[in-house]
């Protein structure tokens, strides 16, 4: 689970007084469980390369913000 923050969102009409809960997710947390299994299995034949892909998804690729109310992707600037 990512970090929960308050954000303005279109479902709250971008109203500063109507903040919605939003979650900051890494690309890895946003990868479905099926893909995670494939990623881990791919580490066996290719070794370090896929370990690198997983680490990049966990730490390097920019984290995203998703509104938990309407599931819309938001910009980081929406955090309040
Ligand atoms: Zn929303």
Question: pLDDT tens across 22-66, in order?
Answer: 999 988 888 899 999 999 998 889 888 889 999 999 888 888 899
Distance CA(19)–CA(54), nearest Å, equals 33
Give yes or no for residue 1 having a pLDDT over 70.
no
19 and 6 housed in the same domain: yes
22 and 3 housed in the same domain: yes
**How many domains does the chain fold into?**
2
22 and 39 housed in the same domain: no
**Alpha-carbon separation of residue 45 from 50, 63, 78 (angstroms):** 9, 28, 42
For residue 26, report the distance from its CA to the centre of ligand 1, in Å.
19
Identify the pLDDT of residue 61.
86
Give yes or no for residue 3 having a pLDDT over 70.
yes
Residues that place a CB less than 5 A from ion ligand 1 = 9, 11, 20, 67, 69-70, 72
41 and 54 housed in the same domain: yes
**What range defines the domain where residue 8 resides?**
1-26+63-80
Identify the pLDDT of residue 2.
77
53 and 74 housed in the same domain: no
Q: What is the DSSP letter of 10?
A: G
pTM of the model: 0.71
38 and 55 housed in the same domain: yes
């Amino acid at each position: 689970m990512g970090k929960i923050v308050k954000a303005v969102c279109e479902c709250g009409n971008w109203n500063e007084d109507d903040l919605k809960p939003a979650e900051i997710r890494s690309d890895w947390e946003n990868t479905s469980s099926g893909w995670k299994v494939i990623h881990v299995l791919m580490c066996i034949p290719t070794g370090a390369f896929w370990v690198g892909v997983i680490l990049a998804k966990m730490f390097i690729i920019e984290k995203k913000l998703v509104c938990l109310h309407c599931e819309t992707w938001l910009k980081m600037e929406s955090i309040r």
